[in-house]
Structure 1
Amino acid sequence: MQVAAINTTPGCDDRRLEQPHIDQHWDRLSTAQRFAFYTLAKLGYQLLFVRQSSHEKTAVARQDDKLVTIDSEGDIDFAPALILRENR
């Protein structure tokens, strides 16, 4: 299932026209994000997509209806200010 987000962060690109395959998202993760995601994957989270602005990469993962984000440093936010288009 492909999903996208309404971005609440200024300076991020809108990628509604073309959604990359999940492998392409994985390739966009930093090393720190990959290690953080390994921890989340053990808890049942799935990587949805990676958004990249000029200065930040943010990975978005989901478990059921719970969203989390992982910043470029690998810090996990369990309460992101993010709304998925499918939930609008």
Structure 2
Amino acid sequence: MDQTALDISERRGHSIANSEHWEQASAEQKLALYDLHRFGYRLLFVRHSLKGPIAVVCQQDDIAVIYHDGEVDLRPKITLRHTH
């Protein structure tokens, strides 16, 4: 499944606080992120899909996603666009 994630400021015209993204994540995603945090991953943003929220996380240049049920995909087919 290919997904394109837009930078949050591009979509909304302003950035929202990381704490707001954290609040949008499911409990299972938060637990998975706690585990990934030990390896240096941090939460970028949470997107909503028909199947539930998708948390996008990164560690330097490595992107991963955490699905609503806590399943982690370390090699997602996702493209991030950056604003300049």
TM-score (normalised: structure 1) = 0.78
C-alpha separation in 2, matches of 1:34 and 1:42 = 13
**Does 1:20 find its partner at 2:16?**
yes
Show structure 1 runs of 4+ deviating over 3 A. none
**Does 1:48 find its partner at 2:48?**
no
C-alpha separation in 2, matches of 1:57 and 1:19 = 18
Q: How many residues align?
A: 79
Partner of 2:56: 60
Structure 2: give runs of 5+ residues left out of the alignment: none
C-alpha separation in 2, matches of 1:33 and 1:52 = 13
RMSD, aligned CA: 2.5
AA matched with 2:56: V
TM-score (normalised: structure 2) = 0.81
Percent identical pairs in the alignment equals 36
**Does 1:8 find its partner at 2:12?**
no
AA matched with 2:3: T
Partner of 1:81: 77
Contact 2:18–2:45 (Cα < 8 Å) also in 1:
yes
Structure 1: give runs of 5+ residues left out of the alignment: 1-6
